[in-house]
Amino acid sequence: MAVEIVDPGARGALRRARLACAGLLLALVFTAPYGVMLFTAAKPAGELRTSPPRLTPVDWHWGTFVEVLRDPGFQSWLWVSLTVALASTALVVLAAVPAAYYTARHRFRGRTAFLVLVLVTQMFSPTTLVVGLHREFFELGLINTYAALILTNAAFNLAFAIWILRAFFASIPREIEDAAAIDGCGRLRVLVRIVLPLSRPGVVTAVIFAFIAAWNEYIVALTLMTDPDKRPLTVGITSYVTAYVQHWNSLFAASIITIVPVVVLFALIERHLVGGLTAGSVK
């Protein structure tokens, strides 16, 4: 009876091919909605109501993207989104770095309770608190102000940043800081000159997640910003499709333009992002 010998190399190649095909199929499933958005954005207005509907346009019309970019309303929404996302991200980092560093390096009474409280705040959704937030900011006179959005986004993203940075700070050997202290560095100088450069992947992870969360926020912005000129992109672009006006191609073109900055940002810092997400997993 002949015994069939299977080449381990061929078996490994077959397994890799199967994994590649599965990954490609999964990628197609996730990118399919973006393809539909792109095809719809490239359709001229006359093709949006054709029957039966077509997936791809007959006449490709890329001018919709130019029209959206030249729209003063879109430019205003883009500026608001950038301002709110950058300011709230900066506020998150400024507050999370010292809090995470202190809890990672010092054991004090109430430390566990503090960390649990930080974790509990992450469990609350802005949607469940939006009525209370509106009432609070109304009493403070902050409705229709950038400060309301910046403070809210910073508050809801602070917990995640603290936990990410705390895990990364805890993975850095204490001996490095002790050596810097012997050389005359104070605690603040050790944090700025030694710890933060070594913690770059963790800081980048906290920054990108805080930025994207603020960039994509919708419910709080819809509630607090009633002035059309002060709305961020997530709320502003919905004006392209209302009960009276339906510009689906403009809506999808604006949505694709809104996605581009986040995709570019991910591509630029992907290497640091992976390192930050795996911080503390190996010692």
Quick one: pLDDT at residue 281?
Answer: 47
Q: How many CB atoms lie within 10 A of CB 223?
A: 19
Reported pTM: 0.82
Would you write out the chain's pLDDT as a tens digit for each of its 283 residues? 444 555 566 677 788 888 889 989 998 998 888 888 898 888 888 888 777 778 888 888 888 899 999 999 999 999 999 999 999 999 999 999 988 888 887 777 777 777 777 777 777 777 788 888 889 898 988 899 999 999 999 988 888 888 888 888 888 787 777 777 777 777 777 777 778 888 888 888 888 889 989 999 999 999 998 888 889 999 999 888 877 778 888 899 999 998 888 888 877 776 666 555 555 444 4
Quick one: pLDDT at residue 94?
Answer: 92
- In sequence order, the 6+-apart residues with CB closer than 8 A to the CB of 198 are 172, 176
Q: Using CB atoms within 10 A of its CB, is residue 216 exposed (0-12), middle (13-18) or buried (19+)? A: middle
Report all structural domains of the chain as residue ranges with CATH numbers, in order of start.
84-242+260-277 (1.10.3720.10)
- Cα–Cα distance measured from residue 260 to residue 178, given in angstroms and rounded to the nearest whole number: 44
Quick one: pLDDT at residue 283?
Answer: 45
Quick one: pLDDT at residue 273?
Answer: 63
Which contacts qualify for 99-104: CB closer than 8 Å, 24 or more apart? 99/162, 100/161, 100/162, 100/163, 100/164, 100/165, 100/166, 100/168, 100/169, 101/165, 101/166, 101/169, 101/191, 101/195, 103/162, 103/166, 104/165, 104/166, 104/167, 104/169, 104/170
